Amino acid sequence: MTGNTHPDIPTWIAAEIDAGRDDFFQLMDAAPFPSTGVRTVAEDGDFRIHRDGDRLRVVRVPEPDFSWFPARESGLIDLGSGSWGVPVTVTRELLDGGEVTVPRALAAQFAVPRQSQVPLSSAKSAHLLALREDRAVTGPIDRFLRECSPGDEVLLVFHTADQSFEVRPRR
């Protein structure tokens, strides 16, 4: 990530709002993250961009449809040290190269702007994490599942510290 004191975009935005710095354009200028990633998080999920007279403010959403905060996502397991796990049951579609939908909070952890993707390193070449209009996905994981059969349980592991990805058997 960047050399900031906040681990991710949602945490940074929340701290700025709590400090009374909620002007959208000032947030964009001050952000220690790519502005496209900040805008993506500021306009959806836990936050919204709200017109207040002549200015745009970023405000919290009391009951968001989804959260950019990984600790609030039931589909994520905190593995510590900035690593997050997504439990997945292997299906025939995954073995045939289907993509995997993952919680959008992962996209915030890697500062993926909407309609973009970031490469993550892995033992089996680069692996993509993408943020579509309404969901986050990883590229096909079939190359990681050579020893698996439908019904097996695996854990997709995303490491923010070194921008890497792996698949582990889930016991």
Tell me how far the alpha carbon of residue 13 is from its chain's centroid.
15
30's enclosing H/E stretch is: helix 24-30
Has residue 6 got a pLDDT over 80? Answer: no
Q: Which fold has domain 70-169?
A: At1g16640 B3 domain (2.40.330)
What's the pTM? Answer: 0.88
Has residue 2 got a pLDDT over 50? Answer: no
% the chain with pLDDT above 90? 93
**Measuring CA to CA, how many Å separate 120 from each of 93, 107, 157?**
22, 12, 11
**Domain residue ranges of the chain, discontinuous segments joined by +:** 9-60, 70-169
pLDDT at 59: 98
Reported as a single tens digit per residue, the pLDDT across 64-96 is 999 999 999 989 999 999 999 999 999 999 999
